[in-house]
């Protein structure tokens, strides 16, 4: 079973924690992670691109010229796709790009992403995550003491106001509740920070579905 150091907010080692094997010690499947990330990115697409076919372009009610005798090609409407200012053929219309993947497969990918962070040494477990005051400077100082750089994902059981106000103005920091945890944000983060208590909550929320 994987074992990770536990630190306090002064970056001092206070002990170790043995993590749940199925969740934090799973086989890292790059193919599965790629599949889930594509699904999440597709779900984030707005799908608002829109074009007009010739039926939606204004004008074009009158035949430009008579069918025969002019020496020109036959034409029924100046809103035809081959005309300048005409409609678009097979252009994009508003749609949803979202699709689903089986829940069991998604959980397996989540465990794979968490396990990759453990194996890479990018999972930081704290005894507690306390902010003295709800200010950006307090959070910045905490991250500096911990020696954390790059994109940081804070995983908490519940987003408290003081913590949220301290972190929201730091563009490199993102905070998620345990239930919101997902593969995309895990892989995007350079470091995942979580408290000992919230690790137990994570196992409680996600581990009880393991055999579902």
CB-based contact 207:20 (threshold 8 Å)? yes
Note the pLDDT tens digit of each residue in 47-56: 999 999 988 8
**CA-CA distance, 156 to 179, in Å (whole number)?**
9
Contacts of 152 (CB under 8 A, 6+ apart): 143, 172, 173, 174, 189, 190, 191, 192, 193
Element at 3 (helix H, strand E): strand 3-7
CATH 3.40.1370.10-classified regions of the chain: 3-44+99-207
Contacts of 184 (CB under 8 A, 6+ apart): 36, 37, 40, 41
* Six token digits for residue 112: 């794979």
Q: What is the CATH number of domain 3-44+99-207?
A: 3.40.1370.10
Burial of 183 (0-12, 13-18, 19+ CB in 10 A): buried
- 94, 95, 147, 174 from 50: Cα distances, Å: 6, 9, 47, 33
Q: How many CB atoms lie within 10 A of CB 156?
A: 20
Whether the full predicted model's pTM is greater than 0.85, yes or no, is no
| Alpha helices per DSSP H over 135-175 | 136-146, 161-167
| Tens digits of pLDDT across the chain (212 residues) | 889 999 999 999 999 999 999 999 999 999 999 999 999 999 999 999 999 998 888 887 889 999 999 999 999 999 999 998 899 999 999 999 999 999 999 999 999 999 999 999 999 999 999 887 899 999 999 999 999 999 999 999 999 899 999 999 999 999 999 999 999 999 999 999 999 999 999 999 998 654 43
Note the pLDDT tens digit of each residue in 17-68: 999 999 999 999 999 999 999 999 999 999 999 999 988 888 878 899 999 9
């Amino acid at each position: 079973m994987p074992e990770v150091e536990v630190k306090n907010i002064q970056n001092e080692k206070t002990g170790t924690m043995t993590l749940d094997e199925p969740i934090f010690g799973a086989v890292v499947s790059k193919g599965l992670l790629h599949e889930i990330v594509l699904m999440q990115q597709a779900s984030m697409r707005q799908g608002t691109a829109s074009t007009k076919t010739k039926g939606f372009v204004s004008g074009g009610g009158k035949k430009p010229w008579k069918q025969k005798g002019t020496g020109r090609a036959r034409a029924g409407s100046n809103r035809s796709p081959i005309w300048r200012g005409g409609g678009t053929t097979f252009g994009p219309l508003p749609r949803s790009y979202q699709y689903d993947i089986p829940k069991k497969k998604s959980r397996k990918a989540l465990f794979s992403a968490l396990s990759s962070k453990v194996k890479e040494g990018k999972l930081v477990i704290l005894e507690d995550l306390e902010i003295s005051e709800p200010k950006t400077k307090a959070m910045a100082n905490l991250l500096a003491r911990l020696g954390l750089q790059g994109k940081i994902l804070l995983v908490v059981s519940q987003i408290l106001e003081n913590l949220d106000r301290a972190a929201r103005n730091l563009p490199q920091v993102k905070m998620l509740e345990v239930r919101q945890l997902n593969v995309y944000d895990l892989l995007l983060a350079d470091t995942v920070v979580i408290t000992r208590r919230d690790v137990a909550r994570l196992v409680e929320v996600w581990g009880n579905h393991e055999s579902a």
